[in-house]
Amino acid sequence: MGEAACSTAPANVQATFLGALLLAMVWPLLAPGSASANAIAPHEWPAQFEGRLLRPLALSPVEQRFAEDFPGRLGRFTDGQRSIVLRQVLRPTRKLHPAEDCFRAVGYRVEQTQLRKRVGAEGLQRCFVVTRDGVKLQVCDYIQDAAGQSFSDTSAWYWSALSGRSTGPWLAVTLASSLP
């Protein structure tokens, strides 16, 4: 996994980042769906993200186990500068959490949380800086629904999706890049 990680961040940081995301996403309980709701049609990830070519990265064994129980698909990529985690979500779920919670759960200090305009798209994303053991990353995340509506708050997305005001499938995006 180390060589496949984004070249701008140490491999152990990338592994911790992905492990933190997965750990925080599996904590809450969700009532099991029907077999047909859990069936997933083949999905193809985009070749580009924000105008940059994506290179797929292998999921770790922990990510693979998590993906087996996630109501959608999980993909990990790099664009050569950032680590990008994409989650296609097929139904409202409490297994999707803010990246801030994931980083806090594994001992990162979270600072400078703010909303920023998404690059090349409408809507906002939640961005913050995390530090631990001398490693400093900028992380941004958001969720986009099938109609293009963007959510910077996971709870707002969940209730909007559960009530039917937002329709899926949804794409949850987490971006992480090294800071000096």
DSSP secondary structure letter of residue 135: E
* Inter-residue contact 93 to 30 (CB < 8 Å): yes
pLDDT digits (tens, 9 = 90+) for 92-144: 999 888 989 888 988 899 999 999 999 888 899 999 999 999 999 999 999 99
Q: Does the predicted model carry a pTM greater than 0.85?
A: no
* Inter-residue contact 87 to 74 (CB < 8 Å): yes
pLDDT digits (tens, 9 = 90+) for 12-62: 555 555 554 544 443 333 333 333 333 445 578 999 999 999 999 998 776
DSSP β-ladder status, 83-89 and 72-78: antiparallel
* Inter-residue contact 105 to 23 (CB < 8 Å): yes
Return the amino acid letter for 26. Answer: V
* Inter-residue contact 44 to 88 (CB < 8 Å): no
Q: Would you list the domain boundaries of the chain?
A: 11-29+44-178
